[in-house]
Amino acid sequence: MEQIRIKGTSMSKLTHPREALFEGEKPFPIIPACEHFAGSEKLITKALELQNKLGGLFDITMDCEDGAQTGKEKEHAELIVRLQNSELNKHKMSGVRIHDYTNSFWKQDVDIIVPGAGEKIAYITIPKPTRAAQVEEMITYIQKAVQKAGIKREIPIHVLIETNGALQEVEKIAALPWLQVLDFGLMDFISGHHGAIPASCMKSPGQFEHELLRRGKANLVAAALANGVIPAHNVTLDLKNQYQTYKDAKRAHDDFGF
């Protein structure tokens, strides 16, 4: 659908309603509907091969947080740089999850990955913040690394909302610069409630019906949409049941706005 906008006495070019109705607001980014996390070289390579086979239908998140072996954090970050720059990364649709704010290696991740693959990475994912100030500090550090490396582009930032503290300040987080996606981190969020949310809620139907999870998801989506940021639903644990995965995705969209 298109419409004609009239300015003064002249007829302007045809404009799509989303451009006319929301003029001046931050445009929503267009990203794939699916994201796959992989930590080891074997699994990242396998994911890249599948991505190439399917023609770039999904993003890949190369994982430093859960992927790096203790004591080999530097080597793992260097591995990710190598994979980012490899011929397998044809679609340039792979991001990186760095270590969280409380882990001293997050700055090392940035110092290695940004200058080494800053022109290639699709995004950087920040996990487990407990305050907006932590996310702001990490984004500022990334911005300085980008500038120091002579990179002209903004690297999109994804933030995992998986703690009570982050959820309390989700509106502040959503308004931070370079932010592209707010992810709901279901498993850590449930763990952080110390038994108040049963483990059964890591899967359907509980993940959509427990009141604390419903509140968390609704607040995240509202904050994201108000700031031109994409709200991303948590992972699915039913990968072998395609129909259940489909139903989970549909319910996340239809009931919560993901």
For residues 238 and 222, the answer to whether their CB atoms sit within 8 Å is no
Residues making up the annotated binding site are 97, 162, 188
Cis peptide before 205 (omega within 30 of 0): yes
- Please write the tens of the pLDDT for every residue from 38-92: 999 999 999 999 999 999 999 999 999 999 999 999 999 999 999 999 999 999 9
Residues making up the annotated binding site for Mg(2+) are 162, 188
| Whole-number pLDDT of residue 89 | 97
Quote the CA–CA distance of 91 and 145 in Å, as a whole number. Answer: 24
Decide: helix, strand or coil at residue 170. Answer: helix
Element (H, E) at 120: none
Written as one letter, the residue type at 196 is A
Residues making up the annotated binding site for substrate are 97, 162
- Please write the tens of the pLDDT for every residue from 128-184: 999 999 999 999 999 999 999 999 999 999 999 999 999 999 999 999 999 999 999
Residue 163 φ then ψ, to 5°: -135, 160
Which residue ranges form the domains of the chain, and what is each CATH number? 35-256 (3.20.20.60)
Quote the CA–CA distance of 157 and 109 in Å, as a whole number. Answer: 14
Average pLDDT of the residues in 106-134: 98
